[in-house]
Each structure stands twice: as C-alpha cells, then as structure tokens.
Structure 1
Amino acid sequence: MEKRPLLDKNKILDSYKLQLREERLDISKNKVQVASVNIRKETIKEEKTITVPIIREEIIIEKKFLDDKDHEHTDTIRIPLTKERIEVTKHPVVLENINIYNKKSQDIKQIEVTLKKEKLRIQTQGDAKVIDHQVDDQYS
C-alpha cells in the first residue's frame, strides 16, 4: 500500500492507494503424443504344388515282314522328337489399394477453474466516518 498526500480544498490529507485484483484465464492448448501406430507390409511365403500336363513325342516303329518275293530294302528315316518344358515366371499383381490418413475430430471438454477476485471491505472501529464514492484518478 502506497501513502501519498491528497489535496482537497486547500487541505492536505493523508491518502493511501490500494489495488484490487482479479484472476483471468488464459487458455492454451499443446499437442501431446498419446499413442503411435506402426504400419508395415509383411511378406508371407506359401509353397504351392501345381500339376501341369506336358506333351512329349515318341517314335513308334512298326515292322512288317515281307515275303520272299519282295526285295529287302534298308532305309534310314530321321524323325526329330520334341517335348514341352515348363517355364515358371512370377509377376506381382495388385490385390488391394490401402489409403492411410490422419482424421481429426473435435471433442469439447468442460474445465472447472476457481478464479480469485479481490473486493474492498471496510470495517471501522470507534467513531470513524467513511465516505465511499468514485473519484477521478487525477493523482495516479
């Protein structure tokens, strides 16, 4: 409390200055990590047994016995033989498209806070006269 003289109609009075205060709220928000999510792709191996028919060529030789009348004749015939071979190739195929995104939603929280406020209370003892009125703050 600060004491200062107050001029009032050519009289010097003792005056005291007292400040009344109140609490007011300042609200701020901070982001706090509360969880985390790990997303990864996992490759699973699967053994497959597949039956594939293949074609191969075979030579069949038929013999015919000839009579004594026919002449014997020897001839060579060359016939190429083929068979199918299996060739396995692998290629990736897209099964699913997955979108991953962060969705924000808003909740409303009620917060209860007790605020303090100072008020002027006047108590007197004895024969004290108190005049309570609003004064322009010309001596601040």
Structure 2
Amino acid sequence: MKTILVAFRVTDLDRSLEFYTALGYVVLGRVPGDNSCLVLLKFPEEPAATFELVHRPDDGPVDVGSGFDHLALQVDNLADTLERLTKAGLEPGPLEHPGGPDGPKTSWLTDPDGYRIELVQWPPTLPDGITAATFA
C-alpha cells in the first residue's frame, strides 16, 4: 500500500486554488459533480496527483477544528521558499528551528479555510526526511 493523496474540503474553490497555486501546486485536472467539484493538484516535479481540493458548497462552511492538525510539506531551501511565497502574496510565519540549530528549519502558514501548513527544510543529516533509520 501507499498513500495516494490528501484531500481538503474547501469553502471557496477559487480562493483556495489561488492560495495553493501560489504555494507551488499545479492543477492536474477537475472532476465536476452535481453541486460539487474535485480538483486534483500536484507539485510540478511529482508524477501524479498528491493533493485534492473538495468543493461541496451545499455542505456549508469548513470547520477544521475537528481533529485535523496540519499538512507538512518538504522544501529544499526554506529561506528562498518564504521569500517566494511572500512575493506571491501569502503570509508565511518566521523561520524557526524547533530542533535546535542543527535540526530541521520550519515555517507555518494557514490556508483560506484555516488549514495549517508546515514547511520543512530537513538538515543534511536527514536528507530523506523521517524514515525508519531516524528511529534506529
């Protein structure tokens, strides 16, 4: 088995698409339905969809406070990413070092519906992120 994608239900599809394309996602395709629309997204270097926006306006506003915590995205250079996102009109938080100066670098931002997104730059000692070797 493998994880295929993560799906977020969104209140305003256009507003969410503007946010996620500014973040770097590209639209792979749309699946329209009766009073709904699914939009499949991926980063340019990914071979397949990894993220889905689910728009069902008849379900009312989105409530992200019911158990969801955050989505984590790996970046190559966090300082460059923060600069690019700020120029694109997004508002990422400051660069943080939660594991100390030799640990990962992180920053947080929030999408239009309140979903929290963690941007992570792994240190050279964790080139592939968190793996089984991390816990060995």
Tell which structure's C-alpha radius of gyration is larger: 1
Instruction: Judge same fold: TM > 0.5, yes or no.
Output: no
TM-score w.r.t. the length of structure 2 is 0.14
TM-score w.r.t. the length of structure 1 is 0.13
Identify the structure with bigger relative contact order (alpha carbons < 8 Å, sequence gap 6+). Answer: 1
Higher strand share: 2
